Amino acid sequence: MLLLILAGEAVFILPFVLPRIFRPTVLEVFQLSNVELGALFSTYGVVAFFSYLFGGSIADKYQPKYLISVALMLTAAGGLVLATIPDFWTLQLLYGYWGFTTIFLFWAAMLKATRVTGGKNRQGLAFGLLDGGRGLVAAGFGSLGIFVFTFFVVDRVATSVENQADSFQYVVLTFSAVIAAVGILVAIFLKSTTRAEEVQVTQWKELITNFKTVIKIKAVWLLMVIILCAYVGYKITDVFSLYANDVLKYDEVESAKVGTYLLYIRPFVGVGVGLLADKTKTSLMMIIGFLLSLLGCALFASGIIEEGLETLFIISILVTATGVYAFRTLYYAALQEGHIPLIMTGTAIGLISLVGYTPDIFMGPLIGYFLDGWPGELGHQYVFIMCGVFMIIGAIASLSFWKVTQNTRVQ
């Protein structure tokens, strides 16, 4: 479980965590607009769109340790390209490459390994540990990145673009080495369990049968909608550091710290909500998560969080993040409540993710459109209004999921 937690966050550090924590710096160093950064995420999302489906089937065929280890090593290699501070078009290719390495080879394999570890009665705890642990790892990586960045920054008050670029290069190279090291640890120490071997298909034709079965399960379709809305909420966390910079006038380092502190909430929410879900219902906790996120979005959309109101800013972040990290913990723990057979986990995850993670395609450009089109606080308000609409839809879908699954026998 510890290796899954470490690998589960390490693989996304370069494409997502660093831009989330260092967003103002990334925009400055790579000379990108918010729309262009969003376009990079869209390129990743398009490749990931196809990778989810086929990668899910691969996870039902091959043991997770091999897929996870190779994915980490290949992702780390991409960091060597990022460290050269490439142009926009090279970044497009790089993000497409990461869409393959982090999803086709990695995503379903990690989640299936986690479901196997959790058994029938500890799905909430298993996925709570995974997501909460990933948050703790991300926070640790974020703190390390800030330390490396500030160590090489000559003057925080008047930091030149060249100095920022040099410092950011060291951050990227450091994490590339860390990701590669995690890949080696997985290859050596992640062991295949007897139970994991029992839920791998042996014939390719079984994958087609699995797909036909999974696509008929109502809970699968509802989880598509739930994860889509939940992932919109998660993508919104990308703008918190930029909000601190644009609206509260924090500098680059202070803004990066906002993104890092946010990650420290995740472990507590993940484990706590996971335990509650095992005692109650996963769907119930998802409903609560959506309502909390809706409240947080309403606070930001209201326009009352301005310079000098740091306490209200922190409270609003806490509320939003608690909701976001709650349903992130739960939507794959819901596979058990949704009565999806264990041997079909990879196929189900691939199919659900095909729709659920489409925000990777459209959210980046959409956020960039609002932030660049209406600079300052107004653009951020529009972003959070949009997010609030998705939170309402997600809460309705979670309620429907509860109604569909409550009287069905677990398989």
DSSP letter, residue 280? S
The structure tokens 């409240």 sit at 295
pLDDT at 51: 85
Contact 63, 196 (CB under 8 A): yes
Whole-number average pLDDT of the chain: 81
Per the listing, tokens 């993104």 go with 259
- Least confident residue range of 34-43, 56-65, 152-161, 374-383: 152-161
The residue with greater pLDDT, 329 or 237, is: 237
pLDDT, residue 392, reads: 95
- Return the closest-CA partner of residue 220 out of 349, 407, 327: 349
- The mean pLDDT of 199-224, rounded to a whole number, is 72
Instruction: With cut-offs at 50, 70 and 90, classify the pLDDT of residue 202.
Output: very low
pTM above 0.75, yes or no: no
Q: Is the pLDDT of residue 39 over 70?
A: yes
Residue 70: per-residue pLDDT: 92
Interior/surface letters 314-344, b for 16+ CB within 10 angstroms, e for the rest: eebbbbbbbbbbbbbbbbbbbbbbbebbbbb
- Averaged over 225-243, what is the pLDDT? 87
pLDDT in tens, 77-116: 999 999 999 999 999 999 999 999 998 888 777 877 777 7
- Residue 179 tokens read as 């990701």
Question: What integer pLDDT is reported at residue 339 of this predicted model?
Answer: 79
**Residue 121 predicted with pLDDT over 80:** no
> Alpha-carbon distance 222 to 340, whole Å?
13
Domains of the chain are: 2-405 (1.20.1250.20)
- Please give the pLDDT value at position 386: 94
Q: What is the mean pLDDT of residues 34-41?
A: 86
- Evaluate whether 137 touches 1 at the Cβ level (below 8 Å): no
Nearest to 328 by CA among 290, 300, 297: 290
What is the distance of C-alpha 27 from the center of its chain?
20
**pLDDT computed for residue 82 by the predictor:** 95
The arithmetic mean of pLDDT across residues 27-43, rounded, is 88
Q: Find the mean pLDDT for residues 151-176.
A: 73
Q: What is the pLDDT of residue 136?
A: 74
Q: What is the CA radius of gyration of the chain?
A: 20
* Predicted local distance difference test score (pLDDT) of residue 43: 92
Whether residue 133 has pLDDT greater than 80: no
Contact (CB, 8 A) for 195 and 363: no
**What is the pLDDT averaged over residues 309-315?**
82
Lowest mean pLDDT among 65-79, 192-206, 208-222, 326-340: 192-206
- pLDDT top residue among 21 and 51: 51
Q: What is the pLDDT of residue 123?
A: 67
pLDDT at 248: 80
The answer to whether residue 410 scores a pLDDT higher than 50 is no
pLDDT of residue 196: 47
4-18 confidence digits (pLDDT tens): 888 888 898 899 888
> Counting Cβ atoms within 10 Å, is residue 122 exposed (0-12), middle (13-18) or buried (19+)?
middle
Q: What is the pLDDT of residue 4?
A: 85
* Predicted local confidence at residue 101, as pLDDT: 92
Decide: 315 and 22 in contact? Cβ < 8 Å.
no
Residue 338: predicted pLDDT: 80
- Please report which residue ranges of 282-373 form alpha helices under DSSP H: 282-301, 310-330, 334-337, 345-356, 359-373
* Cβ atoms 160, 39 nearer than 8 A: no
What would the mean pLDDT of 50-77 be, rounded to a whole number?
A: 82
> What would the mean pLDDT of 365-370 be, rounded to a whole number?
88
In angstroms, how far is CA 379 from the centroid of its own chain? 23
3-state helix, strand, coil in the chain (%, to 5): 80, 0, 20
Average pLDDT for 253-278:
74
Q: In which band, very low, low, confident or very high, does the pLDDT at 194 lie, cut at 50, 70 and 90?
A: very low
